[in-house]
Amino acid sequence: MNLFLFSLKSVIHIRGYILFTSGYKTDMLSAIKYSVTLFLLLSPLSLVAQTSYIDSLKPSQDSLNRELGRQKQEYTAFYFEFGGNGGAMSFNYDLRYWSHYSFRLGAGAYFTSDGHTSDLIIHPGITMMASYLFFDTEFHIETGIGAFIDISKNHYWAAFPNNNTRIKPTAVLGLRYQPYFGAMVFRIGYTPYFDLHNYIHLFGLSFGFCIE
């Protein structure tokens, strides 16, 4: 009888242990399934949030191009100008600072007549200009002022009868195109000569290139 009770108790304990163990395993499997499901659901959201955060730290393409443009436009430029501030034709050196400021030094020639014959007189000279460029894009409105310095022996211009000096004031109001990822420079503008008594309407067209 005692042996029977002992055997019965043993079976009950073993069965309870198996049931407990089975229940524990079932709970563990359920927890694992829930964890995997939750991970799969939240991973895309986490990835999207992380991607958005990383993208927010990156500069936009426009701002990047603008910054590259600023650096690009601070390069040195060389260009030929037909008409304009340098006379009939000139070759110019252009130095840019902080994207908006331009300082120009050029060599060119202006042609006049002596007033008595039809012969042309060549007036070689040096052009010096300081300009300000509006906007941070590839297109700029350029405004500037300077002078054409006549270095010829006869620096008298019939268009400036009251100006006996070698210095002929000039200005520019025009458009400058300089692409972000290119080496070219294009300019077109209104380039008058003037003094206190006279005013000459002229226009200029420039083509050139820039270097680092």
pLDDT tens-digit profile of 130-182?
999 998 888 999 999 999 999 988 777 777 777 778 899 999 999 999 887 77
pTM of the predicted protein model: 0.65
Domain definitions of the chain by residue range: 1-58, 66-211
Q: Give me the pLDDT at residue 51, please.
A: 54
Nearest to 171 by CA among 147, 197, 141: 147
Instruction: For domain 66-211, give the fold.
Output: Porin (2.40.160)
Question: CB under 8 Å to 169, separation ≥6 — which residues?
Answer: 145, 146, 147, 193, 194, 195
For residue 132, the tally of other CB atoms under 10 A from its CB is: 13
66, with CB counted inside 10 A (0-12, 13-18, 19+), is: middle
Residue 188 has pLDDT above 50, yes or no: yes
